[in-house]
Structure 1
Amino acid sequence: MDSAYSPVPELNLLSELEKRLDGEFISDGFELFAFGERKHDSWSDAPEFVEAFLPFAEATGSGSFYALWCVDDRADLATLPVVVFGDEGGIHLTARHLRDLFCQLASDRPLSVDWGDAYFAEYEGYHRERAGAPQAHETYVAWLDQHFGLGAASDPNDLIKAAQNDFGAWFETWIAPLTQKG
């Protein structure tokens, strides 16, 4: 029996790390949930919309979540763009691929999402003060370097801009007719 978290090796490694950290967050508001769980089907009933996203993690403590956008039939799912569905509205590109998201998470800044925008805000939270929280994040940063040779993005919003530059026009053109309410 295959006990892998997902069909994405990078996410399987991250799932193993989360299990070792026993409930401590690797980054503010981020936590994996059941891969592919259909949390987005209330946003549109168009089958091509529902099938185009693979949700995989909470993005904020308030219900926003990350999903891979299946822009094409590429075999390596880790190279798909990452979007965030906002708990208060909005669907936005956040990363060109999982490794960009991993670098954003290493910055440990909270993601803010609304109808108009998604961005990483300056840190104002409390989770680093809890016992185990700073160590969990430090363990994640070391994990990121060990497995991918990557570190924290100096400004995680630059990676959002890169995703927008690469996929923004395509995403907006594709999603608009699927999410408009008549």
Structure 2
Amino acid sequence: MTTPYSPVPELNLLKEFQDEFGYEDFADGFGLTQYGDLSGLVAGWSDDPAFTGRLVPFAQATAGGSFYALWRLDDRTDPATLPVVVFGDEGGQHVVARDLRELFQLLGFDTEISVDWDDAYFYRPEDQPDSAHHDEYATWLDRHFGLAVTEEPDAVLAAARKELGQRFADWAEPYLS
């Protein structure tokens, strides 16, 4: 029996999918990385244990080095229900999804997230081709979670920001220079 990728069953399913179809081959710029690797947070944001202890990096968000992390905003027992935040390779940190399933829907939009100090957003040119295994990912998402890929990433981002954006900003601010 192999060791699971993480303590999060949903991420383990995605890791199995990624192992079969390839890193960055089903969602542009996305790939699961070492679960819980804090090196990016420590290098670019803060090494304060009160900060790093509440964040769990798990995936590359862009080929340029932005990454996703789960935010332990409370003591809930199901980590798949934790909000997902993005840390930009050129700065900025934002809540992008209220839970992993929303992130999975965003990944189906199949373009890299853009992150700056003031915003995180998805822009996909009409002529951008799908990733090599986008269709397989859409099928996987439906089969495992009964979800469709989103065609409206702005709506998903807006809902996450409205519910958790200010709370995350207020929490993170004391740790960030």
TM-score (norm 2): 0.93
Moved more, 137-146 or 19-28: 19-28
Moved more, 144-153 or 165-174: 165-174
* 1:40 alignment partner in structure 2: 41
* 1:97 alignment partner in structure 2: 99
Give a deviation string over 1:11-59, Cα, whole Å, max 9, x none.
0000000111144521110000010011211211321111111000000
* 1:53 alignment partner in structure 2: 55
Cα distance, 1:124 vs structure 2: 6.8
Q: Does 1:149 align with 2:151?
A: no
Inter-partner Cα distance in structure 1 for 2:28 and 2:5: 21
Cα distance, 1:126 vs structure 2: 6.1
Q: Retained in 2: the 8 A contact 1:52–1:70? A: yes
Cα distance, 1:80 vs structure 2: 0.3
* 2:6 alignment partner in structure 1: 6
Q: RMSD over aligned Cα, in angstroms?
A: 1.6
Q: Retained in 2: the 8 A contact 1:55–1:65? A: yes
Cα distance, 1:127 vs structure 2: 6.4
Classify the secondary structure of the residue corresponding to 1:16: helix
Change (3 A) 1:163 1:24: closer
TM-score (norm 1): 0.90
Runs of 4+ aligned residues of structure 1 deviating over 2 Å after TM superposition are: 123-128
Alignment-mate amino acid for residue 13 of structure 2: L
Inter-partner Cα distance in structure 1 for 2:25 and 2:6: 19
Residue 134 of structure 2 is aligned with which of 115, 134, 137? 137
% of aligned pairs identical? 49
Inter-partner Cα distance in structure 2 for 1:41 and 1:123: 34
* 2:29 alignment partner in structure 1: 29
Cα distance, 1:89 vs structure 2: 0.3
Structure 2 unaligned residues grouped into runs of 5+: none
Inter-partner Cα distance in structure 2 for 1:6 and 1:111: 23
Residue 163 of structure 1 is aligned with which of 152, 160, 166? 160
Inter-partner Cα distance in structure 2 for 1:66 and 1:170: 18
* 2:86 alignment partner in structure 1: 84
Pairs aligned (count):
175
